Structure formats: C-alpha cells, structure tokens
Amino acid sequence: MNESTFPGTQHLSSSTEPMSSTPDPAPATPASPVETPVEAPAVTAAETPAPTTPVPPRTVTPPGNYAEMPRPTAKLTAEDLHPVNEPNGAIGKIGPTGRPLPVLPDVLPPTRRGPAQVIAMCNQKGGVGKTTTTINLGAAIAETGRKVLLIDFDPQGSASIGLGVQPHDLEISVYNLLMQRDITPDEVIRPTKVENLDLLPANIDLSAAEVQLVQEVAREYTLSRVLEPIIPLYDVILIDCAPSLGLLTVNALTASNGIVVPLECEFFALRGLAMLTDTIGKVQDRLNPKLEIVGILGTMFDGRTTHAREVLDRVVQAFDERVFHTVIRRTVKFPETTVVGEPITTYAPSSSAATQYRDLAKEVLARCPAG
C-alpha cells in the first residue's frame, strides 16, 4: 500500500521486472568472450583510454580563487571561542582564526603629534560593520592618548549618527569642504563626547559630490588635497567609506596609506572581497603606491555556526597574517550604542565587545604605529 501511494513507484516496479528477466541472457554473454580470447584484449584496449580522457579536466577544474565555497574545518572548542582573560596574556591559546593568539602589549602614549596615519575602512558590500568598526576603533585609539579624526565619507551619514550628530541638522559638511575652496577644515570638524576624538560629518549632500567630481581635474585627489593641511594635527585619521567602489571610495583610497577591510563572516561577503582586492591593486598601480592593506577584520562572528568558522578559515588560508587575530563577535550592544550616539568603549566599557575593539586598536597601532 505504501508503494502505491508515492508517485513513481509503479515505474520502479515495472523497471524491476525486466531487470529480473535480463539476468537470464547475462550468463550467455560472458560465455562467448571466454571462448574467444582474441576479442578480450580488444575490449580492454578500448576501455583503457576511456578513464584517461576525463582525468585532465578534473585537474584543471578546481579554481584557486579563495572566494569559492569553503571546505569544512575542525571545530573549535568552547574555550577557544571565548575571550581569553589571563594576566600573562593569551600564550598558547588558539583564537577564532585558528592561529595562536599573540601577546599584545599595552600601547604607550604618543611622544609627539602627527603626522597622521590615514586608514580607510573599505568594503563595497554593505552591512559588514564598517561604520561600527570606524567609530569604536577610533574611540579605542583615542583612549591611548592619540588624537583621532573620523571622516564620515558615506552619504548616509551613519558615522555621524553613531556619534550623536544628526545629518539633517548640518549646515556645512564634508561635501562643502570638497567642493568649495573657501571652506577650511576647521569650519567643518567638530569635537565629540569622546576625548581626543573629532568628527568630520556628512549628510546626503555628499551623494552629489560623486557626480560633480567627474568633471574636475585630478578628481581622484580631491580628498587628499583637503586632508593635507590637517594631517600634522592628528595621529590617526579613519575614513568610513560608502558601500560602493565609486569615485568617493577611490578618493578615500588615494588619500590613505592603509586600509582595513571589515569582513562579515558570511559567504557573500567573502566573494565581494575578490572585487575589492582588485580595486585596491588598481589604485596602488595608478594612483597611490603607498596604499597597503593593514588587515582584514572578521566581524559579526558567531563561533557556534559552522559556516562562520569555515568562511573565517578560508580568509586566513588566502591572506594569512593580513587577517587580524582579533575578531568582532555578534552582540546586542552595538545597536544600543547607535541609539545612544556613543561608542561601545564609553557605553559599555567593561563589555567583551569593548575589549575586542581595544585589542584591535593594539593590533592596528602595532602594524602602523602612529605618534
């Protein structure tokens, strides 16, 4: 009864009947080759080239692109997935990237001011944590006594909102600084609630700059020209780029000497990394040879999911030491800080999220020391 209820069972039953009848002539066929040994080698000779022909395509088909679907990796233990809080550091501990966690020494206060290290937070895919990383990394670096400037280079103005500035209330923004020669940076830059942290805000007007800059001479160097007089006044300048690879992002990469790539531990974000690295290579060759990748930061990491571990492992296989040891995990604290308009280091200074960004600040300063 059960077989008749499923579609296709009649076809299966009918196919089994002729199969039962076929075994009868089957013994007759093997009997003939045994009697005629001359035909046997002819059959084997015809069969031998068949398996050799499909072998070459199989060796060529696997691409070397790191953006392909990652393979399963070994699971990490629960001890490895949690932050390590030991007085002697994380010696011998394996971090979420699958590598031993380094001992990050405390960052000493700067002995002088400037020139600033200009770092662009760039990834053409949206929702990977660029703005969150820009705000909280800037606040963590500012805690070390360094003077930090955050540049909101996204027409959405998310970095401005995250620091308590309403974009629609701005009378002057980074757009005016780019397009009007009579505007100075001092007129646009404003202090924030965080000590040593300033903001160059943006609003929707910045979207018009991408269209207007097309007609400008040396349009890729517009932001670099604007930042030139204020670089000696800061230790670190962080640029929150828009989720695109347009002219605004190219301006940010041309004005920077380093780039941090926030990467969500998800497959689509991994595929977008291939296009971003291609753009970075073109900017290095044609516009800014000093541009270097400071590091790739895994964000929104959930060690309980196999997919997140596989994606992070694939990135480490492709970029090795360029991947930060620090990984930003998912937490409900980040949406709360956006509502309050302050970074995680002041909203929840003792939280694990604040500790992660302080560790990231140590890694960034160790790779490109400022001050």
Provide the token pair at 83: 């932050």
Q: How confident is the model at residue 370 (pLDDT cuts 50, 70, 90)?
A: low
Q: Check pLDDT > 70 for residue 268.
A: yes
DSSP annotation of 110 reads: P
pLDDT tens readout for residues 6-33: 344 444 444 444 444 444 444 444 444 4
pLDDT (tens digit per residue) in 177-229:
999 989 999 999 999 999 999 999 999 999 999 889 888 888 999 999 999 99
Enclosing H/E stretch for 214 = none
**Contact status, residue 333 vs residue 348, Cβ threshold 8 Å:** yes
Q: Where are the beta strands (DSSP E) in the chain?
A: 117-121, 148-153, 190-191, 197-200, 236-241, 258-264, 292-301, 323-329
Query: How far is the C-alpha of 295 from the C-alpha of 39, rounded, in Å?
Result: 66
Distances (CA, A) of 130 to 22, 49, 138, 331: 66, 55, 12, 16
Report the distance separating Cα 308 and Cα 316, nearest Å. Answer: 12
- Name 139's Cβ contacts closer than 8 Å, sequence gap at least 6: 148, 194, 197, 343, 344, 345, 346, 357
Range list of H helices, 197-347: 206-212, 222-227, 247-255, 267-286, 306-319, 333-340, 344-347
Please compute the mean of the pLDDT values over residues 40-48 and round it to a whole number. Answer: 47
Is 355:83 a contact under the CB 8 Å cutoff?
yes
Tell the burial category of 290 from Cβ atoms under 10 Å away from its Cβ (0-12, 13-18, 19+): exposed
Q: pTM, whole model, 2 decimals? A: 0.74
For all residues of the chain together, what is the average pLDDT? 77
Residue 276 confidence (pLDDT) above 90: no
| Spatial contact of 100 and 94, defined as CB atoms under 8 Å apart | yes
Cα distance between the two ends of the chain: 81
Q: Which residue has the higher pLDDT, 35 or 364?
A: 364
Look at 68-82, 147-161, 352-366 and tell me which has the smallest mean pLDDT.
68-82
Q: Above 90 in pLDDT, residue 153? A: yes
Minimal CA–CA distance to 153: which of 236, 223, 55, 258? Answer: 223
Q: Report the distance separating Cα 236 and Cα 118, nearest Å.
A: 6
- Using the predicted structure, report yes or no on whether residue 164 has a pLDDT greater than 80: yes
Count other Cβ atoms within 10 Å, centred on residue 270: 23
Residues 132 and 119: beta-carbon distance below 8 Å: no
Neighbours of 42 (CB within 10 A): 10
Q: Over the stretch 68-113, which tens digit does the pLDDT of each residue have?
A: 444 434 344 434 444 444 444 445 688 888 888 888 778 888 888 8
Token pair belonging to 31: 């009997």
User: What's the whole-number mean pLDDT along residues 114-133?
Assistant: 89
Q: Is the pLDDT of residue 55 over 80?
A: no
